[in-house]
Amino acid sequence: MPAVDLLAGLREIVGDTHVVTDPDAVAPYAQDWTRRWHGKPLAVVRPATVAQVSAVVRACAVAGVPLVPQGGNTGLVGAGVPQDGEVVLSLTRLDSVGPLDPLGRTLMAGAGATLAQTQRAARSAGLDIGLDFSARDTATVGGIAATNAGGERVMRHGAARFRIRGLEAVLADGSVVRRMSGVSKDNTGYDLVQLMIGSEGTLGVITAVQLDLIRPHKIVGTALVAVRTVDDALTVLRAVQHEFTGLEAAEFFHHDGLQLVLEHERLARPFDRPHPLYLLFDLADDDGRPDTLEELTELLAGLDCVRDVVLVSTAADRRRLWELRELQTEAISAEGVPVKLDVALPLNQLTVFERRLAAVVRSVARHAVPILFGHIAEGNVHVNLLNAVEEDAQGAVTEAVLDLVASLGGSISAEHGIGLANRRWLPLTRSSADMTAMRAIKQALDPEGILSPGRMLPDPVETRK
């Protein structure tokens, strides 16, 4: 079918104004946030209902034109960005939030609702989503489900797949699967909900999500602890976990990242003098002890590896400390386009990884500047390499770092996914049996390769091993 016929068909389904082809209007959908991934889509289509999504998918399938679902476009691995000639299926108009079931503790949300919108709805009922990260105002729950997003609360409440009880998705032939009964025990056949979660738009278009709500604990304090090494940070973490049950989040960043945040965001420095590494954590009042903060102060004061501490309890002070961590992504991006990798290491290999990383990077990109931060409780390191994009044009830098990660028993993608960025290196940590099974699933659910082709699974010629 010629492209003009497809566009006419799409206009009939969603209305003229929601089939966007004007280059200026298309631009925000055609490039990702990092400026590293971009393409020239045939059009951006903005359906408002699941029936429209289904009809759009069917029309694209009939025309043989691939499509890429897109939410808030906050992904970092090119999974939601179009390649040339694809249709961008934007889900942002499916932004309903509710109903909330306080008894079953679930919240319905359209794929286009933002994380912040769902957080507000849950909190207004004294509950919470149990998921949080800095892109909360833009990232959508459809994208969160499709990428199995992680973030800052994973150590306590798990990644997205633990926070989603049901979902609705449109398959490659336009049919709709809906598993949103709210029943928390359901062993009826294959778990299609979990299969869709983390499939990055390659198996279906997620149109709605049923979130599993938690009863939040009150955060009594947030601590920023200055230490020398990652091992020191883990020592502090273990001591706090031994003494208290309410550790909610544990993050780390280095001096160079903090410096960028302070410069770009014009924030006040947290300590009089710089320190090599910072551990940031939230403590909730699970234990119901009246003097938690005093006890925490005493505990930290007794640890030799602690060089300095800022301990705060008001919401405004806590936010100020969290900004030092959450604004790292933006501050790095303001400095240049980084090679962004998102890896996880066994905790006992974190120090070895950090120690070897600099030399490994230098061997392939002499002027690269590594800036590391991340979610320390899961060994999740966000490796940002400034001044390395050119050397990484053929993937040399990415390969060197991911080889190191694999050799230490880590994961080459902790929470950002595979997308276009990491697909070549999937076989580093997935066996040929794994790859065959994944290809069989893709082939069964999307035999014509209509949904996000080329994402996640490498083309056979790309496979290194």
Residue nearest to ligand MLT (CB): 329
Q: What is the DSSP letter of 283?
A: E
What distance in Å separates the CA atoms of residue 88 and residue 105, rounded to the nearest whole number? Answer: 33
Site for ligand MLT in 247-276 (CB under 6 A): none
- If the CB atoms of residues 128 and 342 are measured against ligand MLT, the closer one turns out to be 342
DSSP 83: P
How many beta carbons lie within 10 A of that of residue 64, not counting itself? 11
**Residue whose CB is less far from ligand MLT, 70 or 134:** 134
Task: Please work out the total of residues on this chain that contact ligand MLT, with binding judged by CB under 6 A.
Answer: 5
| Smallest distance, ligand MLT to C-beta of residue 155, A | 13
Q: Cα(34)–Cα(247) distance, rounded to whole angstroms?
A: 32
Would you give the DSSP letter of residue 140? B
Torsion angle defined by CA atoms of residues 331, 332, 334 and 338, in that order, rounded to the nearest 10 degrees? -160
Nearer to ligand MLT, 292 or 380 (CB): 380
Closest approach of ligand MLT to the CB of residue 330, in Å: 9
C-beta of 393: minimal distance to ligand MLT in Å? 21
Closest distance between ligand MLT and the C-beta of residue 111, in Å? Answer: 20
Q: Which is nearer to ligand MLT, 74 or 117 (CB)?
A: 74
Supply 328's token pair.
Answer: 């790292």
The yes or no reply on residue 382 touching ligand MLT (CB under 6 A) is yes
CB distance 135 to 109 below 8 Å: no
- Interface with ligand MLT in residues 334-353 (CB under 6 A): 342
User: Measured between alpha carbons, how far is 345 from 352 in angstroms, rounded to an integer?
Assistant: 10
Nearer to ligand MLT, 105 or 153 (CB): 153
**Which tokens sit at 201?**
């738009």
* Alpha-carbon gap, residue 296 to 302, rounded angstroms: 10
- Cα separation, 158 vs 149, whole angstroms: 10
**Cβ proximity to ligand MLT, 114 vs 134, nearer residue:** 134
Show the tokens assigned to 117. 């919108």
C-alpha angle with apex 79: 74 to 82, nearest 5 degrees?
95
DSSP summary character for residue 349: G
Beta bridge mates, 251:
280, 375
Question: Binding string, 313-332, against ligand MLT, x = CB under 6 A?
Answer: ----------------x---
Site string for ligand MLT, 131-160 (x = CB under 6 A): --xx--------------------------
- CA–CA distance, 337 with 331 (Å, rounded to integer): 11
Which residues between 159 and 198 bind ligand MLT (CB under 6 A)? none
Least distance in angstroms from the C-beta of 380 to ligand MLT: 8
Of residues 133 and 278, the one with the C-beta less far from ligand MLT = 133
> Could you tell me the two tokens for 12?
């009939």
The alpha carbons of the chain give a radius of gyration, in whole angstroms, of 23
CA 47 – CA 51 distance, rounded (Å): 9
List the structure tokens of 297.
């102060």
CB of 295 to ligand MLT, least distance (A): 29
Rank residues 157 and 382 by Cβ distance to ligand MLT and give the closer one: 382
- Coil, strand, or helix at residue 88? strand
- Shortest Cβ distance from residue 21 to ligand MLT (Å)? 31
CB of 148 to ligand MLT, least distance (A): 13
Q: How far is the CB of 236 from ligand MLT (least distance, A)?
A: 20
Report the residue number, 222 or 329, with the smaller CB distance to ligand MLT. 329
Footprint of ligand MLT on 384-413 (CB under 6 A): none
CB nearer ligand MLT, residue 342 or residue 391: 342
Q: How far is the CB of 277 from ligand MLT (least distance, A)?
A: 16
**Using CB under 6 A as the criterion, which residues of the chain lie in contact with ligand MLT when the complex forms?**
133-134, 329, 342, 382
